[in-house]
Amino acid sequence: MALFNRISKAAISPPPTKAAAAGSAYMAQNTNNVGASMIGTYYSYVEGEARNRAMSVPTVSRARDLMASVIGCMNLKMYNEIWNGDEMEKLPIAPRTWLRKIDPSVPNSFTLSWLFDDLFHFGRAFLYVTSRTADGYPASFTRLPVAMVQTLDQAGPVWFAPSKQITFQGGQINPDDVVQFLSPIQGIVYMSEKAIATALQLEAARYRNSSSAIPAGILRQNGGEPLSAQELADLAAAFNAARATNQTAALNEFVTYTETLTSPDKMLLIESAEFQAMEMCRLCNIPPYLAGVSVGSYSYQSSAESRMDLWTFGVRAYADCVAGTLSQNNVLPNGTYVEFDVSQYLSGEYSMEDYGNDNSEQPIPNGVPLQS
């Protein structure tokens, strides 16, 4: 028996190969979606320092809450379009299951309000598809906080198209599993950084002044032998004690009393605060009277007119962004659309319904019971 294999023809030995490390095949298949494993780790979620700074301005907080309440209170409905011979007509259709619960773990009022929050502050928002139906379309979603999402192919702050390179908490995620909302309005944290910084500085100055004690008046020595610091302090203390027990103060010819002209409204910079509140209303695109800033006749608008102004000037652009994005072909079949039921909000009917699912009478704000 031969100890070695004999070579009977010419051959070139293959290059040496290195065995793959354990688990490398798995990583190779998932390097473009490792960020998905971080979704749902809520303890690490943040909303972003820039957003939190903007929300510390009372007028910005008021504007955000007003518009978020509108987005959150409206229902979504689904429809197709058909040509009736004269125009395109909307034909209501049965909604998909996610239309009432975009994220199964929370109500739509929460999900839609925070989608708006992202659009309002950053100009974009993200939903991650957590499950799909048999036809391949999304069945449920979860929101990804914008402050934790980076797009490697777009630096911002203006977003031109849906990103194809998305990372979440540093790990890439498949863009096909992300629904990207791009606002027609640039995010306020990028749009007017100096205006927000000015509002914060003004608020800091007002806070300092509110804790600053100023004298009600000044005692001034006009002649005589100069008093020492201790003697001046004793004179002031004696004067305060006399004022506390007598309505008439007595001073000799060497001392005069002058009242301090600074008033509380000047100390709290009321006029400056009013102007800056107006600036923040301009930034947030809401009528100033909705933020409590008096602007003449606008202060006497009816509730119906106020709702219409808030919808027209502030909310509609964001609502159309959300509805239009949810109508794209990566979410719904071609020719199927989503829109907000804005008629109930504008008429005020949304405050009169959905007080319970049982057959008992439910109280409503005007005191008239709602019958089943």
Is residue 317 a contact partner of residue 49, using CB atoms and an 8 Å limit? no
pLDDT at 207: 80
Nearest 5 degrees, angle CA 328-CA 332-CA 338?
A: 75
Rounded to whole angstroms, how far apart are CA atoms 4 and 12? 18
What residues in the chain have per-residue pLDDT under 70? Answer: 1-32, 211-216, 246-249, 261-265, 296-301, 348-372
pTM above 0.75, yes or no: no
Q: How far is CA 28 from CA 24, 164, 261, in A?
A: 6, 19, 75
Rounded to whole angstroms, how far apart are CA atoms 343 and 327? 20
pLDDT at 10: 44
Cross-strand bridge partners of residue 88: 83
3-class state of residue 40 by DSSP: coil
pLDDT at 216: 66
pLDDT at 300: 52
pLDDT in tens, 71-128: 998 999 999 988 888 888 889 999 998 999 999 999 999 999 999 999 999 999 999 9
How buried is residue 190: exposed, middle or buried, by Cβ count under 10 Å (0-12/13-18/19+)? middle
Write out the two tokens for 64. Answer: 């955000």
**Alpha helices (H) in the chain, listed in sequence order:** 24-30, 49-55, 58-73, 108-122, 188-191, 193-210, 229-245, 264-267, 270-284, 303-309, 316-326, 342-347
